[in-house]
Amino acid sequence: MTPPAGSLLSAEHLRKAYGPTLALDGAEFSIHPGEVVAVMGPSGSGKSTLLHCLAGIVTPDSGTILYAGRELSAMSDAERSALRRSDFGFVFQFGQLVPELTCVENVALPLRLNGTSRKEAERAALGWMERLEVDDLRKKRPGEVSGGQGQRVAVARSLVTDPRVLFADEPTGALDSLNGERVMELLTDAARSTNAAVVLVTHEARVAAYSDREIVVRDGRSRDMERVV
Amino acid sequence: MSVRQWAADLGLGIRFAFTGGREGWTRALLTAVGVGLGVALLLLTTAIPNALDVRHEREAARSDITFALDPMPKAKDTLVIARVDAYFRDDDVRGRAMEPEGPRAPLPPGVEKFPAVGEMVVSPALKELLESDSGALLRERLPDRIIGTIAEEGLIGSAELAFYRGGEGLAEKITPGRIERIDRFGDPQPGEEQSDPVLLLLVLVVFVVLLMPVAVFIAAAVRFGGERRDRRLAALRLVGSDSRMTRRIAAGEALAGAVLGLVFGAGFFMVGRQLAGNAEVYRISVFPSYLNPSPLLALLVAVAVPAAAVLVTLFALRGVVIEPLGVVRAGRPPRRRLWWRLLLPLAGLAMLYPMIGDGRENGDFNQYLVTGGVVLLLVGVTALLPWIVERVVARLGSGSVAWQLAVRRLQMSSGTAARMVNGIAVAVAGAIALQMLFAGVDDDYTKSTGQDVSRAQMEATLSSGVPMAAAAEKFRDTEGVKAVYAFSEGYLGDRAQEPEHGTTITVGDCASLREIAGLPSCADGDVFAVHGAEWDTGEDMTKLAAPGRKLYADPSYEGGPKRHEVPWTVPQDIKAAKPREGLAAGTDRGGFLITPKAVPDALAPALDGHAYLKLDRSVPDVQDLVRNTASAIDPLASTVTWAETERAERFDAIRTGLFVGAACVLALIGASLLVSQLEQLRERKKLLSALVAFGTRRRTLSLSVLWQTAIPIVLGLLLASAVGLTLGTVLLKMTGTPVRVDWVGVLSMTGIGAAVVLAVTLCSLPPLLRLMRPEGLRTE
């Protein structure tokens, strides 16, 4: 497979089935460093599965995924986990913050998993929390903060390792429009400032508007919007 | 608030308990199985007193001891019955030989007709054993033709080995306590068994200790699925339920689970009851029909369990605010207060304190104070543990990610963690106390037999008249017998009837006699008089051993049957011998010692035979080989395997009951722990998947689960040890026994508790790994 020139992460002919349900049926994808790509489509179209495959969370049944020139499916589970810890960041629809850790501990968690000391990890975490305007929540637990605040903490957590690719799965799905827009502004600004690529799964055009490019997934197949238009 | 509204809310809750598709059913089933196991154990406990009563009644109904001083005359309704009990391997075999003397001779319970000579009726378990290959050795001893089985009313347990066989010539051998004439079966002097206060104390504490964890377990079982239920209640708030309604609905759900649990419990109990009929635990078996719970106690269980389920649910919802848009656990629960938690164990100690020092003599321990005191002390564990866990985990610092995740989780919900180990802690605390009590009073119930097991390991008693020289030869020829010391023993009096002075007479070869006395020299034909033996007054022996004096073997006494009254003259050349520590019962033997050649033929019927046997224990079934030989020599022979100590049967039975019960309780608690552990993991499925998605190692998460369980269990076991040692000390002081800590017992009990938790954690690892799969992130 020849990836599109300069692409950081690319995929071709991805197929993935969950039992009798075909989630991906020949999907393709590519993203460049610093680029924000929105993956759109109706519910059940395979958007999240595409994201999970691209991030190495799920292994596709067939097809290839290249990240920085390395074949993802050729890596072991441990190698893919290490890659996710070091190079990728994640934001999900519901923040998926660990409820028993404080906000700063949640943000510091990916660094700690990488072996960074607690003090250093929390210092870096606090820096990101300041950038995302949630530093005042550092001692609070996720259950004590609002949905929008929690999602900003999750964005800080996804960026704390300076990832090269940020995967965001419906990051504003549980937020009102005002909060959703603020989260998107902060997320895309932060990503652009670190030249991180962002794979943004959404079904909202309003959210997709923050992207540089849109891809539509329907019945497990992906198509570039520009080609559709 | 109308009753109708209450009923409607409860009804809605009951419906919710069973709706919700597969998951709803699974949750309801889990609760019902949990409650059901607890209920079954409670029902079993309520049935135990009844089972023991029935066993006692049946034992009394088949009793064939007369305790009569005057022998009963032969009549149309009399029966001569001989005890021919046997042992097979480690099992007792109850045996009787019967010779009816008239057409109206009484039949023993469970037997339809008398077996003729050469026939026997046997218990079903003995029949099965005799027909199996493993019973071949016993079959040699019991060769009689089986003509029927003993019915249930003639047995005290389904696994009891028992037989009745036909006998002949028994009337001539009537010996009180061994061969008797009776005209009815049944205890001739029924009466209340005098209860030993220490044993009563043990029984009470064993019951409380075993039932407390069951109660804790039931309380945990009705909370299965609690978090999901809370979310459902939040949805109900959204559509207009007020907070009181939601609590009533929750109570209805718990009620449904508990009632279904009662049904399951009754089912488990019925199944267990049937299975119990096939089981034998430490030589105790019962028939299913024995296990009938007392109706009042069963009713109490049926009312108390659902009521407790509702109360526990309402109690659990105290700190939870159910809002229309979700469940809010009261952010930081109010700090737990120590004072009332300390009051419980202190009140328990206060209840036990008045009985301290009562001991065995004044020890009519008040059952209610004992039960109340022990319950309060153990409930104190469940009250103190959440406070201790909260305080300790609040002070724990961060370490590795796994440690941090565990500690933070514990800090957030220390109550849940404490609840999980409450059952184990209570069980261990109770077990430690009981272990101390058992170890403390063990000496009182274990006494030395005085039998010198280094010189002989078995003793066979043969009927009078059996030639001992030939018998000894047969024993010597038996595989595994290394040495035989054979004696014929009897009693000599100075008169044929109503003797004033008397002593024992022992016949044996020189080698055998040297085992029981110090002989100056010995040749066959010698007679010795032993002076200065333990029970010898000196005066008697000096007078009796005068050469030429006429004595009578087996003299008769007033009120007793006419005995052999065989005259025997002390020989002129009688030699003196010194007493020596005997083979049996720690006593040195006095009286006359006679070598075989010096025994006149007429004396033989007046003497019983005893053979002391030294065995090669490496020979398989050596004891049964000896028993078979003894039986071949004399069908009325009895054999005893020697032991250095013997223990009171009831003490052993209580101890056995504790171990069996503790095993059941720990298994139950382990199952409960596993279910709640799995439920907690399921609740966190999405979070676990997300953590794995951003690269968390599985090892980290597994370790965090281990820490999460290990920290509260360590605290729980420390508290359990402290409470257990306190309770054990108090109980020992109550019995007036010196306090001694049985550290091996403490360590083994805490070790078992820790092992249960470790096993549960290990069992929950595979599901944890499955839950960490990225598929957990899928929502569609």
C-beta of residue B349 within 8 angstroms of C-beta of residue B370: no
Helix (H, G, I), strand (E, B) or coil at B382: helix
Asked if the Cβ–Cβ distance from B694 to A84 is below 8 Å, we say: yes
List the single residue in A49, A55, A113 with the smallest CB-CB distance to B401.
A113
Please report, rounded to a whole number, the percentage of residues in chain B having pLDDT higher than 90. Answer: 15
Residue predicted with more confidence, B245 or B320:
B245
Helix axes B698-734 and B414-445, enclosed angle (nearest 10): 40
Top-level CATH class of A1-87+197-229? alpha beta
Q: How far is B690 from chain A (nearest CA, A)?
A: 6
Structure tokens, B559? 């009120």
Looking at residues B572-598, what average pLDDT do you find?
Answer: 78
Best of B398, B413, B694, B777 to mutate (most A CBs within 10 Å, chain A): B694
pLDDT score at B291: 84
Q: How confident is the model at residue B1 (pLDDT cuts 50, 70, 90)?
A: low
Q: Which residues of B touch A102 (CB under 8 A)?
A: 408
Which amino acid is located at B58 in the chain? R
pLDDT score at B70: 67
Average pLDDT, chain A: 87
Closest to B716 measured CA to CA, from B435, B434, B392: B392
Nearest-CA residue of chain A relative to B397? A118
Burial class for B245, CB neighbours closer than 10 Å (0-12, 13-18, 19+):
buried
pLDDT score at B227: 66
Asked if the Cβ–Cβ distance from A113 to B693 is below 8 Å, we say: no
- C-beta atoms surrounding B453 within 10 Å: 13
List the single residue in B412, B686, B691 with the smallest CB-CB distance to A100.
B412
Q: How far apart are CA B440 and CA B446, in angstroms?
A: 11
Which amino acid is located at B93 in the chain? V
Q: How confident is the model at residue A215 (pLDDT cuts 50, 70, 90)?
A: very high
Average pLDDT, chain B: 82
Residues of A with CB under 8 A from a CB of B: 18, 43-44, 48-49, 52, 55, 57-58, 81-86, 88-90, 92-94, 96, 98-102, 105, 109-110, 112-113, 118, 141, 143-144, 158, 169
Q: Which residues of B touch A88 (CB under 8 A)?
A: 694-695
Closest to B31 measured CA to CA, from B231, B265, B210: B265
Q: Which residues of B touch A144 (CB under 8 A)?
A: 331
Q: How far apart are CA A147 and CA A167, in angstroms?
A: 19
Between the alpha carbon of residue A51 and those of residues A81, A152, B473, the distances in Å are: 15, 20, 92
Q: How far is B13 from chain A (nearest CA, A)?
A: 27
pLDDT score at B23: 66
**Does pLDDT of B398 surpass 50?**
yes
Residue predicted with more confidence, A105 or B681:
A105
DSSP B597: G
Strands (E) located in B427-516: 446-448, 458-462, 481-493, 502-507
Looking at residues B432-457, what average pLDDT do you find?
Answer: 75
B706-742 residue pLDDT tens = 888 888 888 999 999 999 999 999 988 888 888 888 7
B39-73 residue pLDDT tens = 887 888 778 777 878 888 888 899 887 776 666 88
ipTM of the prediction: 0.76
Nearest-CA residue of chain A relative to B327? A143
Q: Which residues of B touch A92 (CB under 8 A)?
A: 690, 777
**Does pLDDT of B277 surpass 70?**
yes
Between the alpha carbon of residue B741 and those of residues A167, B439, B628, B725, B737, the distances in Å are: 61, 9, 46, 8, 12
Residue predicted with more confidence, A130 or B445:
A130
pLDDT score at B328: 58
Best of B325, B777, B778 to mutate (most A CBs within 10 Å, chain A): B777
pLDDT score at B263: 93
Q: Which residues of A touch B328 (CB under 8 A)?
A: 143
pLDDT score at B165: 94
Q: How far is B250 from chain A (nearest CA, A)?
A: 23
Best of A51, A101, A103 to mutate (most B CBs within 10 Å, chain B): A101
Buried b / exposed e along B762-779 (16+ C-beta atoms within 10 A): eebeeebeebbebebbee
List the single residue in A58, A93, A98 with the smallest CB-CB distance to B687.
A98
**Does pLDDT of A227 surpass 50?**
no
B477-508 residue pLDDT tens = 999 999 888 888 888 888 888 888 888 888 88
Asked if the Cβ–Cβ distance from A57 to B693 is below 8 Å, we say: yes
Asked if the Cβ–Cβ distance from A109 to B401 is below 8 Å, we say: yes
Looking at residues B695-702, what average pLDDT do you find?
Answer: 85
Which amino acid is located at B542 in the chain? T
Burial class for A203, CB neighbours closer than 10 Å (0-12, 13-18, 19+):
middle
Asked if the Cβ–Cβ distance from B405 to A143 is below 8 Å, we say: no
Residue predicted with more confidence, A86 or B415:
A86
Q: Which residues of A touch B697 (CB under 8 A)?
A: 81, 113
**Does pLDDT of B34 surpass 70?**
yes
Q: Which residues have CB under 8 Å from A229's CB, separation 6+?
A: none
Between A and B, how many CB-CB pairs are < 8 A? 85
Asked if the Cβ–Cβ distance from A100 to B697 is below 8 Å, we say: no
List the single residue in B412, B687, B695 with the smallest CB-CB distance to A96.
B687
Looking at residues B231-249, what average pLDDT do you find?
Answer: 75
Asked if the Cβ–Cβ distance from A143 to B329 is below 8 Å, we say: yes
Looking at residues B107-132, what average pLDDT do you find?
Answer: 93
DSSP B119: E
B244-261 residue pLDDT tens = 888 888 888 888 888 898
Q: How confident is the model at residue B129 (pLDDT cuts 50, 70, 90)?
A: very high
Q: How far apart are CA B14 and CA B29, in angstroms?
A: 13
List the single residue in A84, A93, A169 with the smallest CB-CB distance to B695.
A84
pLDDT score at B193: 56
Q: How far is A101 from chain B (nearest CA, A)?
A: 6
Which amino acid is located at A17 in the chain? A
Q: How far apart are CA B213 and CA B217, in angstroms?
A: 6
Q: Which residues of A touch B404 (CB under 8 A)?
A: 101, 105, 112, 118
Strands (E) located in B621-732: 638-641, 645-647
Q: Which residues of A touch B401 (CB under 8 A)?
A: 109, 112-113
Helix axes B3-18 and B21-61, enclosed angle (nearest 10): 100
Query: Where are chain A's structural domains?
Result: 1-87+197-229
Q: Which residues of A touch B687 (CB under 8 A)?
A: 96, 98-99
Asked if the Cβ–Cβ distance from A90 to B694 is below 8 Å, we say: yes
Nearest-CA residue of chain B relative to A17? B775
Residues of B with CB under 8 A from a CB of A: 328-329, 331, 398, 401, 404-405, 408-409, 411-413, 686-687, 690-697, 700, 774-775, 777-780
Structure tokens, A43? 């519910």
Nearest 10 degrees: CA dihedral of B518, B523, B524, B525?
-90
- C-beta atoms surrounding A70 within 10 Å: 11
B643-675 residue pLDDT tens = 766 666 667 777 777 777 777 777 777 877 787
Closest to A105 measured CA to CA, from B695, B408, B687, B689: B408
Q: Which residue in this structure is represented by tokens 């259950």? A: A143
Q: How far apart are CA B110 and CA B90, in angstroms?
A: 25
B733-774 residue pLDDT tens = 888 888 888 788 788 888 888 888 788 888 888 888 888 776
Asked if the Cβ–Cβ distance from B409 to A85 is below 8 Å, we say: no
Asked if the Cβ–Cβ distance from A58 to B775 is below 8 Å, we say: yes
Which amino acid is located at B508 in the chain? G
Q: Which residues have CB under 8 Å from B747's CB, separation 6+?
A: none
Q: Which residues of B touch A101 (CB under 8 A)?
A: 404-405, 408
Q: What is the CA radius of gyration of chain B?
A: 35
**Does pLDDT of B559 surpass 60?**
yes
List the single residue in B398, B412, B696 with the smallest CB-CB distance to A113.
B696
C-beta of residue B264 within 8 angstroms of C-beta of residue B33: yes
List the single residue in B692, B694, B774 with the smallest CB-CB distance to A110.
B694
Looking at residues A190-206, what average pLDDT do you find?
Answer: 90
Q: How far apart are CA B519 and CA B123, in angstroms?
A: 50
A114-150 residue pLDDT tens = 888 889 999 999 999 998 889 999 999 888 888 888 8
